[in-house]
Amino acid sequence: MIDLYTAKTPNGRKVSIMLDECGLPYEVHSIDLGQNEQFKPEFLAMNPNNKIPVIKDRDNGQVVFESGAILIYLGEKTGKFLSPSGPARAAQLEWLFFQMASIGPMMGQLFHFRNYQGEPQVYAVERFTNEVARIFNVLESRLSQVPYLGGDDYSIADIAAFPWTKLGGFLGVDMDGLKGVSAWLERVYARPAVQSGINVPA
């Protein structure tokens, strides 16, 4: 049994999708970010960086924070969606870290400066709009050649990228010219575990 501490964010939904894909039983603990529950001492004891998601594995007491680390942990625990070695594993980890370093942070900054900046900050909005467009072109260059980010097989790289990438149109990305990305989004969303996990917490 896994305890999942999460909220309604793309980073949180990566982990619920992974848990559903792996068929692992888990209990959801919703963290109300609006009420600053992530700053409570009991949560900070699990993650000193006060961010969701966090998991606790009741099988061994292991606590893991940071969504990418959680995906790797669950992949290694179950032997699913992460190749054990070789070029496939390397590619899956490359694209996992591309999501962690580029997709999530740049899309998050764009969302912030478009919606919460107070006074308009034209430079910031323009900078992150351009960077998000560049990132989607990188994804297109990959997904126009292979069905999944790691190559032939669906993996933690796709699980990590999907909750963010599906918001591209909402953030103004011109999805019409991104045929590879659009087909990949449809392919991933067709999976039942993605459809269930993307709605956790309800």
Domains 2-80 and 86-191 share a fold: no
- The string of pLDDT tens digits covering residues 133-142 is 999 999 999 9
Q: Where does the pLDDT of residue 80 fall: very low under 50, low under 70, confident under 90, or very high at 90 and above? A: very high
Residue 122 is predicted with a pLDDT of 87
- The string of pLDDT tens digits covering residues 98-132 is 999 999 999 999 998 888 767 778 899 899 999 99
3-state secondary structure the chain: CEEEEECCCHHHHHHHHHHHHHCCCEEEEECCHHHCHHHCHHHHCCCCCCCCCEEEECCCCEEEECHHHHHHHHHHHHCCCCCCCHHHHHHHHHHHHHHHHHHHHHHHHHHHHHHCCCCCCHHHHHHHHHHHHHHHHHHHHHHCCCCECCECCCCHHHHHHHHHHCCCHHHCCCHHHCHHHHHHHHHHHCCHHHHHHCCCCC
Domain locations along the chain: 2-80, 86-191
For 2-80, CATH gives 3.40.30.10
Residue 33 is predicted with a pLDDT of 92
When mean pLDDT is compared across 37-41, 157-161, 184-188, the lowest value belongs to: 37-41
For 86-191, CATH gives 1.20.1050.10
- Mean pLDDT rounded to a whole number for the chain: 95
Q: Where does the pLDDT of residue 50 fall: very low under 50, low under 70, confident under 90, or very high at 90 and above? A: very high
